[in-house]
Amino acid sequence: MFLDFGMSELLLIGVVALVFIGPKDLPKALRVAGFWVRKARTLSREFQTSVEQMIREAELDEMRQELKKATEIDLEKQFHETIDPTGSLAESLKPPELPNFSAADLSAAPAPKAQPQPAAETPQTEAAEPAVPAIAPPHDASQYTVPLKQ
């Protein structure tokens, strides 16, 4: 990053240096000035690279933190919160609770007592309930086959 010196300013500096330093010591002074300019450039380059490295490390730390947050997300919970935030959909999809008809439950419950009804209340003209016909056994399929001619 060279300062904004024009050609006329450099020429003026060269003439002043020639007058004050002299032609004999001018090459030695220019070598020393070149050495310090190189030294200043390398220091500024090192400073610039160290600042850039610090910026990269800071960005890497931010990226590490974002990645850590992304891996800690519970996807199933986020999915349920997005699709069904109130929980009503999951509740409506649950199967109904069925009663348990196990033998232990039936034996533990007392059997209801049948109370005889008085004969006066039941009318004699009521027809008995029709009987449900029994299901016929399957037929023998051989009676429907036709013998093949040979």
Could you tell me if residue 128 is inside a domain? no
Name the domain count of the chain: 1
Say which residue, 67 or 110, is predicted with more confidence.
67
Could you tell me if residue 54 is inside a domain? yes
Within 13 Å of residue 59, how many CA atoms lie on the same side as its CB?
Answer: 6
- Residue 40: the pLDDT is 94
Mean pLDDT (the chain) is 76
Question: What percent of the chain shows pLDDT beyond 90?
Answer: 15
| pLDDT of 38 higher than 80 | yes
Could you tell me if residue 42 is inside a domain? yes
Is-above-0.75 flag for pTM? no
Could you tell me if residue 115 is inside a domain? no
- Dump pLDDT digits (tens) for 41-99: 999 999 999 999 998 888 888 888 888 888 887 878 887 788 888 878 778 878 878 77
Could you tell me if residue 29 is inside a domain? yes
Of the candidates 4, 1, 65, 71, the one whose C-alpha atom is nearest the C-alpha of residue 37 is: 1
Q: How many other C-beta atoms lie within 10 A of the C-beta of residue 79?
A: 10
